[in-house]
Amino acid sequence: MKKRVGVLFGGRSVEHEVSVITGMQVIENIDKTKYDVVPIYISKEGKWLTGSSLMNFKNFKEDNLKDAKEIIMTPVFRDNKYYTHPEAIGFLGKKLMETVDVIFIALHGTNGEDGTIQGLFELIDIPYTGGGVLASSVGMDKVTMKDVFKAHGLPIVDHIWFFRKKWFENKEEIIKEVEEKLGYPVFVKPANLGSSVGITKAKNRETLMDSIEIAIRYDRKIIIEKSVENPREVNCAVMGYDDNIRASLCEEPVGWKELLTYEDKYINSNTKGSKGSSRNIPADIPEETTKLIQDTAQKAFMAIDCRGNARIDFLLDKEGKVFVNEINTLPGSVAYYLWEPMGISFKDLISELIDISLAAHKEKNENMYSYDVDLFKRIEFGGSKAKKI
Instruction: Consult the annotation and say whether 229 binds a ligand.
Output: yes
Out of 148-152, 183-187, 264-268, which region has the weakest mean confidence (pLDDT)? 264-268
Instruction: Consult the annotation and say whether 188 binds a ligand.
Output: yes
Do residue 302 and residue 211 come from a single domain? no
Do residue 204 and residue 179 come from a single domain? yes
Between the ranges 73-82, 257-266, 273-282, 307-316, where is the mean pLDDT highest?
307-316
pLDDT at 325 over 50: yes
Q: Which residues are catalytic?
A: 15, 195, 333
Residue 190 near residue 197, CB atoms below 8 Å: yes
pLDDT at position 194:
62
**pLDDT band (50, 70, 90) for residue 69:** confident
Mean pLDDT for the chain overall: 87
Q: What angle do CA 142, 146, 149 make, to 5 degrees?
A: 140
Do residue 7 and residue 118 come from a single domain? yes
**pLDDT band (50, 70, 90) for residue 179:** very high
pLDDT at 50 over 80: yes
pLDDT at position 77:
54
Residue 253 near residue 279, CB atoms below 8 Å: yes
Question: What is the CATH number for 68?
Answer: 3.40.50.20
**153-177 average pLDDT score:** 97
- Domain membership of residue 143 (yes or no) is no
Boundary residue ending a domain (192, 226, 260): 226
Boundary residue ending a domain (88, 108, 128): 128
Boundary residue ending a domain (110, 128, 146): 128
**337-347 average pLDDT score:** 97
Residue 219 near residue 317, CB atoms below 8 Å: no
Do residue 54 and residue 108 come from a single domain? yes
Sheet holding 186-190, edge to edge: 159-163, 221-226, 186-190, 200-202
pLDDT at position 369:
77
Instruction: Consult the annotation and say whether 142 binds a ligand.
Output: yes
* Closest by Cα among 286, 289, 290, 282 to 338: 282
pLDDT at position 275:
38
Question: What is the CB neighbour count within 10 angstroms for residue 247?
Answer: 22
Question: What is the CATH number for 251?
Answer: 3.30.470.20
Rounded Cα distance between 51 and 349, Å, is: 25
Instruction: Consult the annotation and say whether 56 binds a ligand.
Output: no
- Domain membership of residue 20 (yes or no) is yes
**365-389 average pLDDT score:** 71
Instruction: Consult the annotation and say whether 226 binds a ligand.
Output: yes
Question: What is the CATH number for 171?
Answer: 3.30.1490.20
Rounded Cα distance between 133 and 117, Å, is: 8
Instruction: Consult the annotation and say whether 228 binds a ligand.
Output: yes
Rounded Cα distance between 209 and 83, Å, is: 49
**pLDDT band (50, 70, 90) for residue 384:** low
240 vs 265, more confident: 240
pLDDT at position 307:
98
- Domain membership of residue 375 (yes or no) is no
pLDDT at 188 over 60: yes
Please list, residue by residue across 206-236, b when 16 or more beta carbons sit within 10 angstroms of its beta carbon and e when fewer do. ebbeebbebbbebbebbbbbbbbeebbbbbb
Do residue 246 and residue 331 come from a single domain? yes
Do residue 236 and residue 175 come from a single domain? no
Sheet strands (E) in 142-220: 159-163, 186-190, 200-202
- Domain membership of residue 376 (yes or no) is no
274 vs 318, more confident: 318
pLDDT at position 278:
81
**pLDDT band (50, 70, 90) for residue 371:** confident
Sheet strands (E) in 27-165: 35-42, 48-50, 69-78, 81-86, 98-100, 102-105, 159-163
pTM: 0.87
As beta bridge partners, residue 104 has 7
**pLDDT band (50, 70, 90) for residue 267:** very low
195 vs 214, more confident: 214
Compute, in degrees rounded to 10, the torsion defined by CA atoms 319, 321, 325, 329.
130
pLDDT at 67 over 50: yes
pLDDT at position 90:
44
257 vs 51, more confident: 51
**Phi, psi for 377 (deg, rounded to 5):** -70, -15
Instruction: Consult the annotation and say whether 280 binds a ligand.
Output: no
Host domain of residue 267: 230-358
pLDDT at 311 over 60: yes
362 vs 100, more confident: 362
Do residue 180 and residue 239 come from a single domain? no
Sheet strands (E) in the chain: 3-10, 35-42, 48-50, 69-78, 81-86, 98-100, 102-105, 159-163, 186-190, 200-202, 221-226, 232-241, 244-253, 279-280, 308-316, 322-328, 381-382, 385-386
pLDDT at position 1:
84
Q: Name every residue whose Cβ is closer than 8 Å to that of residue 26 and which is 6 or more positions away in sequence.
A: 7, 9, 104, 106, 334, 350
Q: Name every residue whose Cβ is closer than 8 Å to that of residue 3 and which is 6 or more positions away in sequence.
A: 34, 35, 36, 101, 102, 354
Do residue 251 and residue 333 come from a single domain? yes
Instruction: Consult the annotation and say whether 230 binds a ligand.
Output: yes
Do residue 78 and residue 179 come from a single domain? no
Please list, residue by residue across 71-86, b when 16 or more beta carbons sit within 10 angstroms of its beta carbon and e when fewer do. bebeeeeeeeebbbeb
CA 326, 327, 333, 335 torsion: positive or negative? positive
DSSP letter for 319, please: T
Do residue 79 and residue 106 come from a single domain? yes
Instruction: Consult the annotation and say whether 269 binds a ligand.
Output: no
Instruction: Consult the annotation and say whether 177 binds a ligand.
Output: no
Name the 3-class secondary structure at 13: coil
Domain count, the chain: 3
* Closest by Cα among 357, 339, 341 to 349: 339
- Domain membership of residue 149 (yes or no) is no
Do residue 190 and residue 72 come from a single domain? no
**pLDDT band (50, 70, 90) for residue 330:** very high
Instruction: Consult the annotation and say whether 231 binds a ligand.
Output: yes
pLDDT at position 80:
57
pLDDT at position 302:
98
Helix axes 287-303, 142-151, angle to 10 degrees: 110
Instruction: Consult the annotation and say whether 225 binds a ligand.
Output: yes
Residue 67 near residue 50, CB atoms below 8 Å: no
- Domain membership of residue 309 (yes or no) is yes
pLDDT, one tens digit per residue, over 51-65 is 999 999 999 988 888
- Domain membership of residue 318 (yes or no) is yes
**28-41 average pLDDT score:** 96
* Closest by Cα among 113, 60, 168 to 326: 113
pLDDT at position 125:
86
Do residue 67 and residue 100 come from a single domain? yes
pLDDT at 207 over 50: yes
- Domain membership of residue 137 (yes or no) is no
